[in-house]
Structure 1
């Protein structure tokens, strides 16, 4: 049995086994109302929640905090740090926090996380909706623009934050504005996102924005939302294992809806990111819907509905660090980062081409101070390659990078979800071994799925090798529907490493693709499949239906910097059309290893 199959089988056993084990044992149940919580949306119930959790911490074995229907306002307790939450679940085991119909937690500070589960094992959050009060964004109707000065004037919708409120601006806040259709509340990707430079409050509930992006006269009459994005997430799982989020709903967040960091096997089942029913809100979370970083096991994300986010639906991967210095043959200096540990699989990423290579064993992780700044010092058992380029020697952009592959959330499973009606991609996968199946991607400005690492400015990785993408539906995706590509400083790249290996793209369906994108330097509008920096890709039994009536003309399937790509029976607009009508072979392609077979039907 392959390593991937073993891991998936283990994940399935853990999910069913742990859940059934906990449910079969008698559980101590405490009701938060018995500790003074009112649930009226007015009084601060944080003390009651914390007292209930304090009592449950004394209980051995399964335990449940019951949160009856109601709106519970929670403010951070005095002394809560910036990375803390309104509700902190610390070092708990076998704990369930369960809501009922109508259970809503209202977070009173846009500067703090919502619920934080840190150091947990078998912790379940179930049947709870969460929201921020005040909202971390505002919105209104665009009344006028000045295209020369790049200014937009809009009138605030009733009940939304004024831009003069402290949480709507500040040094740690990123203000970005998006244009929406007033009738459908869908974002308009044909226009540039507006990165705000100045904000002025005018008379009559009006706001004037000055942005650094092109402003068009066609903005007038459309809706606009301006987010106040900062580092505060609605739901956080940190350094936890075998945890569950079941039927959770996130209505808003200053940044991520769900942040999962340094974890092993967190399962999200039946969760939602969605505006409140009956609301006219344009946004949900200001950043990604589900963002997974580090850890040793990817999440299971299933039966979820994600919409309205300010960035990707799902983003999974690890982090590269530039090599700052190499003071001797067996030592590397890097920026301080918690994902690096001794005796782990530390790999180098060559900046010249993005290729990855395992280094010799790291025996010690320590610290060093250079010019008054603290760095991480990695010591290795043998000499390192002489060709390593450092920031000290060649500068930041050309320096090589390293990553700890034992701190990458591998083998994630993403199935039977809806991803759509938001700003960017459906799935950004920078982790190997993913299974992506049975999902629906709809109304996206960015790619439906993107696999690959980025060793340029974003330094995110590793990539999506060994992925299986099957039985998914893509509707009205403006950029390339599926992209396999590593990203880096191509103008300085000597050769393109083909590091994305052994990917299967099978039985997917694509329709209404190809509308115009406001900013499209890579020419992705109108393209359905883009395969690059790959070795070993099987594309079979996929169906490309008709494009959007306003689609940009483009080649449907593009292959660049790749080898060993096989395409079986691609149906295009109802026919098994010849490759000359839909396939383009670009630069650095091993043409002899590209096989197209349209004869099986």
Structure 2
């Protein structure tokens, strides 16, 4: 009996796989989601059918594809085995084609994970949460002296969480933003966020928000009818731990592509996302492409002021930079694109050549999911107190049991230990893996529209930023800079071309280049070309350059919003080798 029970499910599954596929003339196997029981009516939970279809796709192997039905809305509840609805791991040359269908996803879940794959494509999907991972309400009263403001929650948006709910989820994020509902962005005179200490329900759908003292004065700028946006968390901490996930970062993206090569997200539109960044592209060994990826307001839902409240695309520690083209970004409350490498610090000096390293994730045993370092990689070392930059140092050995214990090829003196903690470790020696700086990244022909923060931040090497349209932002457009202090990212950009982009209706500078160092002048960012760009600016100097070496400005056009030429379009400080042609 035991043998019969173990064999029958295998036979049934095998028969199912055969019955739910067709073979193209070139031998590729095509699977249909409908054949696995998916209904796609927007009400029936199709998650079991999707998981079964994904298992079949994995079994079918290289060349296989999975097809959804055009026009369908697939409601997807919680998976028991993963926080990612489409979870693709260790696959080669497979495709998922949504054919324009929508995934209506529980906000406890992320949308897509591509991990340790090669040649995988996910395309033609619309992504939406139900319910949303935030709530919002119109401001009906405010008192800056006492530090509170009242909101009336808008129809169709969730109530604020109860004390019991707050006790189950990741700690409540005491953070929000006030936006102009017509502009769908923060007004120029307003602070771009507000931290709160607590909230109190004063009516059925009315809530009083109590700001932290530092924010009292900013409440005076709030207007009746402005919309306050409040993030919500849905995932119980115990659930994430039960899935073997580190609460602070494992569930940190709606779409994640990691440790992969030659994979693509194509023609995918995200209307909303759970409480995480839109996408994370990290530790990849080959080119990752986002083509016609869109983060935009859902048509017909005009009262929404935000698409996703966290970051856009975080591209970290990639050996080859991403290709991001023909994309559209709007409505986010943080930067659309961030291309960087994680700062590494020596938590412990074991000898003059051997160190126990850590990154922002803390004192953990390194593995492939949290660190990109490999034997043979080269490190750059930056010493903030003195301004020294040393290296490269080659990684000659990583401990088998604890890969974060690393031996370098040369001794290093004067190391200041640290653990990548905000403010605490701002004088600690910073290390960067020069083999994982997203070399050759390309960001082209994208549109960046109304949002709270920057269109793009980068610390990458050998990149091109070209043909983009940047407009209506509440912060900077293209910002090349490292970060140290409140958080840490780097290194210092080298060999980047910014050309043929257009900028208009910006609250701040359109292009900003800054080497953030503890001492100045110390121009660690080098060889930047800014050419053929068009600026229609409300600020007198839409280009700001500080602490940079070898900058070329060529054939740029500068006008104010009245159409007159700008008199001082470029602000410069501590710049070595500036060429204006």
Find the residue that maps to 1:406 and give its secondary structure.
Answer: coil
Offset, 1:65: 0.7
In structure 2, stretches of 5+ residues that fail to align are 1-23, 234-247, 359-363
Find the residue that maps to 2:56 and give its secondary structure.
Answer: helix
2:184 and 2:331 in contact (8 A); partners too:
no
Asked if 1:203 corresponds to 2:203, the answer is yes
1:425 and 1:449 in contact (8 A); partners too:
yes
Structure 2 partner of 1:498: 523
Asked if 1:42 corresponds to 2:43, the answer is yes
**Which residues of 2 match residues 146-545 of structure 1 at below 5 A?**
146-164=143-161, 166=165, 170-192=169-191, 193-212=193-212, 213=215, 214-216=218-220, 218-228=222-232, 231-253=251-273, 254-263=275-284, 264-279=286-301, 280-335=303-358, 336=364, 337=366, 338-352=371-385, 356-366=389-399, 376-382=404-410, 384-391=411-418, 396-488=425-517, 490=518, 493=519, 495-514=520-539, 526-545=540-559
Offset, 1:496: 3.2
Asked if 1:85 corresponds to 2:99, the answer is no
User: What TM-score does the superposition give when structure 2 sets the normalisation length?
Assistant: 0.84
Aligned mates of 1:24, 1:296 — CA distance in 2: 37
Change in Cα spacing, 1:554 to 1:41, as seen in structure 2 (3 Å) is: farther
In structure 1, stretches of 5+ residues that fail to align are 1-22, 369-373, 515-525, 569-601
1:354 and 1:496 in contact (8 A); partners too:
no
Aligned mates of 2:430, 2:567 — CA distance in 1: 35
Structure 1 partner of 2:361: none
Find the residue that maps to 1:258 and give its secondary structure.
Answer: strand
Aligned mates of 1:118, 1:329 — CA distance in 2: 36
Change in Cα spacing, 1:153 to 1:240, as seen in structure 2 (3 Å) is: same
Aligned mates of 2:125, 2:534 — CA distance in 1: 34
User: What TM-score does the superposition give when structure 1 sets the normalisation length?
Assistant: 0.81
Change in Cα spacing, 1:410 to 1:211, as seen in structure 2 (3 Å) is: farther
Aligned mates of 1:54, 1:146 — CA distance in 2: 56
Aligned mates of 1:424, 1:537 — CA distance in 2: 25
Offset, 1:221: 2.3
1:343 and 1:363 in contact (8 A); partners too:
yes
Aligned mates of 1:421, 1:255 — CA distance in 2: 19
Change in Cα spacing, 1:356 to 1:29, as seen in structure 2 (3 Å) is: farther
Deviates further, 225-234 or 505-514: 225-234
Offset, 1:507: 1.0
Name the count of aligned residue pairs: 516
Deviates further, 478-487 or 554-563: 554-563
Find the residue that maps to 1:100 and give its secondary structure.
Answer: strand
Find the residue that maps to 1:340 and give its secondary structure.
Answer: coil
Offset, 1:267: 0.7
Aligned mates of 1:361, 1:313 — CA distance in 2: 33
1:476 and 1:548 in contact (8 A); partners too:
no
Aligned mates of 1:342, 1:411 — CA distance in 2: 22
Change in Cα spacing, 1:26 to 1:438, as seen in structure 2 (3 Å) is: farther
Asked if 1:136 corresponds to 2:133, the answer is yes
Aligned mates of 1:283, 1:115 — CA distance in 2: 21
Change in Cα spacing, 1:79 to 1:153, as seen in structure 2 (3 Å) is: same
Change in Cα spacing, 1:240 to 1:143, as seen in structure 2 (3 Å) is: same
Aligned mates of 2:511, 2:375 — CA distance in 1: 37
Aligned mates of 1:209, 1:413 — CA distance in 2: 42
Change in Cα spacing, 1:395 to 1:67, as seen in structure 2 (3 Å) is: closer
2:184 and 2:306 in contact (8 A); partners too:
no
Offset, 1:113: 2.2
Asked if 1:567 corresponds to 2:567, the answer is no
Structure 1 partner of 2:236: none
Q: Deviation string for 1:287-342 (max 9, x for gaps)?
A: 12211111201111111110001100110111112222323222122224522322
Q: List 4+ stretches of structure 1 deviating above 6 A.
A: none
1:168 and 1:228 in contact (8 A); partners too:
no
Aligned mates of 2:388, 2:335 — CA distance in 1: 26
Aligned mates of 1:167, 1:468 — CA distance in 2: 47
Aligned mates of 2:418, 2:297 — CA distance in 1: 45
Change in Cα spacing, 1:478 to 1:380, as seen in structure 2 (3 Å) is: same
Aligned mates of 2:151, 2:292 — CA distance in 1: 37
Structure 1 partner of 2:6: none
Asked if 1:118 corresponds to 2:115, the answer is yes
Structure 2 partner of 1:105: 103
Offset, 1:203: 1.1
Deviates further, 423-432 or 214-223: 214-223
Deviates further, 462-471 or 173-182: 173-182
Change in Cα spacing, 1:436 to 1:334, as seen in structure 2 (3 Å) is: same
Offset, 1:25: 4.8
Q: Deviation string for 1:230-276 (max 9, x for gaps)?
A: 84422111111101111100111222112111122111111110111
Aligned mates of 2:351, 2:339 — CA distance in 1: 34
1:46 and 1:87 in contact (8 A); partners too:
no
